[in-house]
């Protein structure tokens, strides 16, 4: 079973973010970077499928040279080889342009399964995996927590709203976007880190892939969110106030 996993390097979630001089993106010069969380779960799902059914896991990532450290992390965790699309203008590309890069690199490999994270932690568009599926002409399912291989394809557990789930079947090849939390993430072992140094990392460029960089969606300006505080007094009996508090935590704050 050949499984390809698209991963993205994003600013570390604890990094202090500053907007750059153009006000179109963040200042990247002094940031620490990490593997996008939902992509880590996609990688874990792919590794578990390989361990159960055999085959190989190939990671694909687009970005500048610094992305190599995130690729090596994925290889250290158990991926077999990698494709690095060297692209210094990745921050200027929209979801369609990035998906075109990924799809162009994936297509010659003829994968049985393509896994991506649900969305990236920096932009949060949640579109790349869906577009990759369309470009590759493969069936697609999103918000996936678990994947099981069958004789004709895969059976997946899909998260719905308000704690509901459903199980659906898809033929392969297919593209799945993976939700965070479906599995326990593994750490790279010392032996895995040593082996990663000898694993193949094939480098491609956007020029070699003949992918148009012209964005369909243009990011004009970004701003930091405004900090604000407010106090609300809940009236009524204790039971009424408690019920109102639960509603606000669920539908306004979104913590329940």
- 63-117 pLDDT tens trace: 999 999 999 999 999 999 999 999 988 888 889 999 999 999 999 999 999 999 9
Q: Is the pTM of this model over 0.75?
A: yes
Query: Is the confidence at residue 52, as pLDDT, over 90?
Result: yes
Query: Is the confidence at residue 24, as pLDDT, over 90?
Result: no
Model confidence over 167-220: pLDDT tens digits? Answer: 999 999 999 999 998 889 999 999 999 999 999 999 999 888 888 777 788 888
Query: Is the confidence at residue 25, as pLDDT, over 90?
Result: no
Lowest mean pLDDT among 139-153, 171-185, 229-243: 229-243
Q: By C-alpha distance, which of 39, 183, 58, 60 is closest to 122?
A: 39
CB 117 within 8 A of CB 8: yes
Q: By C-alpha distance, which of 71, 80, 88 is closest to 34?
A: 71
pLDDT range class, residue 29, cuts 50, 70, 90: confident
Query: Which parts of 2-116 fold into alpha helices (H)?
Result: 37-53, 67-77, 95-106
Query: Is the confidence at residue 241, as pLDDT, over 80?
Result: yes
Cα of first residue to Cα of last residue in the chain, in angstroms, is 39
The pLDDT, as a whole number, for residue 36 is 94
More confident residue, 25 or 148: 148
CB 207 within 8 A of CB 104: no
For residue 14, with 0-12 CB atoms within 10 Å meaning exposed, 13-18 middle and 19 or more buried, which class applies? exposed
Return the percentage of the chain with pLDDT > 90, whole number. 64
**Sequence-ordered list of residues with C-beta below 8 angstroms from that of 248, at least 6 positions apart, any chain:** 232
């Amino acid at each position: 079973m050949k499984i390809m996993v698209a991963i993205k390097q994003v600013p570390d979630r604890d990094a202090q973010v500053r907007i750059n001089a153009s006000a179109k993106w963040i200042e990247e010069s002094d940031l620490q970077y990490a593997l996008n969380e939902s992509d880590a779960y996609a990688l874990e799902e792919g590794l578990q499928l390989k361990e159960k059914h055999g085959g190989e896991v190939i990671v694909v990532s687009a970005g500048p040279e610094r992305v190599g450290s995130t690729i090596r992390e994925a290889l250290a965790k158990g991926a077999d080889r990698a494709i690095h699309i060297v692209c210094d203008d990745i921050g200027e590309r929209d979801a369609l342009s990035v998906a075109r890069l990924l799809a162009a690199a994936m297509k010659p490999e003829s994968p049985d399964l393509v896994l991506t994270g649900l969305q990236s932690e920096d932009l949060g568009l949640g579109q790349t995996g869906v577009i990759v599926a369309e470009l590759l002409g493969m069936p697609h399912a999103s918000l996936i927590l678990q994947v099981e291989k069958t004789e004709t394809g895969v059976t997946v557990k899909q998260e719905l709203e308000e704690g509901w789930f459903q199980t659906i079947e898809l033929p392969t090849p297919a593209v799945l976007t993976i939700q965070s939390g479906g599995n326990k993430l593994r750490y790279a072992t010392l032996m895995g880190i040593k082996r990663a140094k000898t694993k193949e990392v094939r480098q491609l460029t956007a020029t070699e892939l003949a992918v148009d960089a012209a964005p369909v969606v243009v990011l004009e300006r970004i701003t930091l969110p405004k900090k604000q505080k407010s106090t609300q007094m809940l009236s009524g009996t204790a039971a009424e106030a408690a019920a109102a508090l639960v509603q606000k935590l669920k539908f306004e704050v979104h913590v329940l």
